[in-house]
Amino acid sequence: MAQFISTQKRQGYAIISIAKEPVNSFDTAMWQALHAALQAVETDSSMRGVIITSGLQRDIFTAGNDLKELYAPLTSAQQYATFWEAQSRCLVGIHSSRLATAAAIRGACPAGGCAISLCCDMRLMTAGAGGAIGLNEVALGIPVPKYWAGVMVQVIGHAAAERLLLSGSMVPPKAALQLGLVDELVDDKAQLLPRTEELMQQAVKLPGGARAATKAGLRGDFDEAWLQYALTWEAGPRGFARITDPNTVASVGAAIQRLSKGGGKKQPQSKL
């Protein structure tokens, strides 16, 4: 999957671009590839920051998980465990990165795409119509993973996160800004990356070691608990039991069919 992810290095930071048409869906190999790309930046001591963005033609950050990985008839306990571990190691890797991290979000940012962006230090988004961000799993009949919800709680507070999550809502850019779900909007697509780079250039000027140690103090306990829970509970028999629940199988099956009919064109946000 490495062919779908490209890394460009600038002075002090890198830009990781994800471009797997049509909607940047994440299966096991994609999570592993994104994680590997992040680690490659981290091991370069000249790098102090990373921007994650989409290289798709359409205005989609990523539609999140490939539903086939969550559809019991198409996977196995073993495969599901591998998938969940790859996904969780990548997300915890972003959240706990020593680097300054930014998500540059163009358009739709549902589910797993929202999770990736919430794990970054800052989120910029295009203001344009059609964009929306949120962990909309409940609307599709699937629980929001516990620590995805937890990251949203950190970013916008407990009550606001509960309201969004329990209603399966995605919110448009302006509402996302007001909630603190994103930090800044840009008027035009063309400004998205330049403005994100401008903020990143400020961030990487700061002493990297002190910044990283402070970030570890703020996030370390949470990330340790997250990985522990993901690898034992969610990737284990209890996690797999969840996706073999008949209601969940029906919900995910219906979502797959809906998406295959629409070719993912109309409702990229309904992917996980």
**Interface with a copy of itself, residue 271, by CB under 8 A:** no
Q: Taking the CA of residue 191 as centre, how many other CA atoms within 13 Å lie in the half-sphere pointing to its CB?
A: 12
Q: Which of 218, 237, 260, 265 binds a copy of itself (CB under 8 A)?
A: 218
**CB closer to a copy of itself out of 173 and 208:** 208
Is the distance from CB of 148 to CB of 97 less than 8 angstroms? Answer: no
**Interface with a copy of itself, residue 134, by CB under 8 A:** no
**Interface with a copy of itself, residue 197, by CB under 8 A:** no
DSSP 115-159: HHHHTSSEEEEE--TT-EEE--GGGGT-PPPHHHHHHHHHHH-HH
Interface positions, 82-101, toward a copy of itself (CB under 8 A): 100
# chain residues binding a copy of itself, by CB under 8 A: 48
Question: For a copy of itself, which stretch binds (CB under 8 A), given 9-17, 28-36, 65-73, 155-163?
Answer: 155-163
Phi/psi for 257 (5° steps) reads: -65, -40
Task: Tell me the three state secondary structure of residue 64.
Answer: strand
Interface positions, 25-44, toward a copy of itself (CB under 8 A): none
Interface positions, 160-189, toward a copy of itself (CB under 8 A): 161-163, 165-168, 180, 183
Residues 6 or more apart whose CB falls under 8 angstroms from that of 268 comprise 22, 23, 58, 60, 63, 108, 110
**Interface with a copy of itself, residue 237, by CB under 8 A:** no
The nearest distance, CB 2 to a copy of itself, in angstroms, is 30
Tokens 């969780």 sit at which residue? Answer: 88
